[in-house]
Amino acid sequence: MALVLEKMTTEKRNPNTMKLDRMSPLEIVTVMNQEDELVPKAISGHLDRIAQIAAWGTQSLEQNARIFYMGAGTSGRLGVLDAAECMPTFGVSADTVIGLIAGGEKAFIRAVEGTEDSRDLGREDLIEYDLTDKDLVIGIAASGRTPYVLGGLEYARKVGCHTAAISCNADSEIGRAAEIAVDIVIGPEVLTGSTRLKAGTAQKMVLNMISTAAMVGAGKAYQNLMVDVVQTNEKLRKMCQEIRPRDTCQLKEGQK
């Protein structure tokens, strides 16, 4: 399908920032703050679908299966970030929540040209991890049409596992390729097309919801405390000593 930018809300010009290059720093950060306030309101209409994705995540975790995030650019980096943070927060292994970014790990730091435009790479990355029907695959793309993500979702559907898509454009292609679509329309960016801004914020918030609710559902919390937090620094060790039942904190290997 041909790429038509003018049909994408994320690529349109924001009427509130047409004079961005003439704004003072205070004016810029003020309008950014005002635009960011729209994000949680836009997400609120999708909570039932986000909750279902989290429930699938819990189901996968309880079956010793995995949660995969797939994306390119900012979307991919956000998936890798959330996956990485699950390890110390919930005491899970590195192969429990897996972030896949088009172009591989090196693309987290520097863009790898052309990789996001390959459906084959998305499929191949999941094949390399021996995807099963018990896993959960979540595609992330602000545009809603990234070929790398589409290829991964299409393969995941063939394998038979649950699939979900997070985008920031209505009726997204990745949404149509997944069981559940979370298309959060947050409007044009302050800086035209820079989806690391509102779109990135929206995706980060949704990923926080999914991973946290999935882990809590899998027994990774006692009341509102982290049960299996890994004590990797002085703050966490002190927190475990002072405010938690002793059995809610896991010592990192080699610590006393």
> Which of 35, 116, 179, 189 is an active site residue?
116
- Beta-carbon neighbour count of residue 85 at 10 Å? 15
Q: Is 253 a catalytic residue?
A: no
Helix boundaries (H) for 131-229: 147-159, 173-177, 198-217
Q: Is 128 a catalytic residue?
A: no
> Which of 6, 35, 37, 85 is an active site residue?
85
Contact 121, 151 (CB under 8 A): yes
DSSP state for residue 141 in the 8-state scheme:
-
- Which residues lie across from 139 on neighbouring strands? 70, 165
DSSP E strands in 61-213: the ranges are 67-71, 97-101, 136-140, 162-167, 180-183
Angle between helices 119-128 and 147-159 (to 10 degrees): 50
**SS3 state at 95:** coil
Catalytic residue ranges: 85, 116
